[in-house]
Structure 1
Amino acid sequence: MTDELLDFKQAAEFLRVSDKVLMKLLQEENVPARKIGNQWRFSKQALINWIAEGNSRDYTKKMRDDT
């Protein structure tokens, strides 16, 4: 299998964010993920593509505004 699947903890580590931030991203952004049963699964390549296509400045400003 060429596309590595990550669980929630692995995805947070891969993105270098806390569990709380990843959950917020799942709720507010179009993070490529699937919930199977009660567990999240992430394609590593889809996360890379999502990061490459996004605008992190918008999210950073939003996080500052929310605090």
Structure 2
Amino acid sequence: MTDPILTLPEVAVLLKVAEKTVYTMARNGQIPAFKVRGQWRFKHDDIDGWIDEKKASVKGNLGKGAADV
């Protein structure tokens, strides 16, 4: 069973991006996150849902021209 709470480095590995990218996204509210004693934490279910939303958004924009977006 996966841990329901992920650390910033774990999310970076999951998304295959740099830790600094995840930090910036969390700080700017671009990814669901919360802090525990100053450390960023992420609910695994929230991250999975966020990924699904992003995939749906990309699929919805496929085939649209620049003027359509």
Structure 2 stretches lacking a partner, 5+ long: 59-69
Structure number with greater Rg is: 2
Structure 1 stretches lacking a partner, 5+ long: 57-67
Counterpart Cα distance in 2 of 1:38 and 1:27: 12
Instruction: Please say if residues 5 and 43 of structure 1, whose CA atoms lie closer than 8 Å, have aligned partners that are also in contact.
Output: yes
1:31 is paired with a residue of what secondary structure? Answer: coil
The TM-score normalised by the length of structure 1 is 0.65
Q: Which runs of 4+ in 1 moved over 4 A?
A: none
The TM-score normalised by the length of structure 2 is 0.64
Q: CA RMSD in A?
A: 2.2
The alignment of Structure 1 onto Structure 2 pairs a total of residues equal to 56
Kindly indicate whether structure 1 or structure 2 has the higher relative contact order, using CA contacts under 8 Å at least 6 residues apart. Answer: 1
Q: Of Structure 1 and Structure 2, which has the larger fraction of its residues in helix? A: 1
Matched, 1:5 2:5: yes
Q: CA deviation at 1:29?
A: 4.3
Q: Identity of counterpart residues, as a percentage?
A: 32
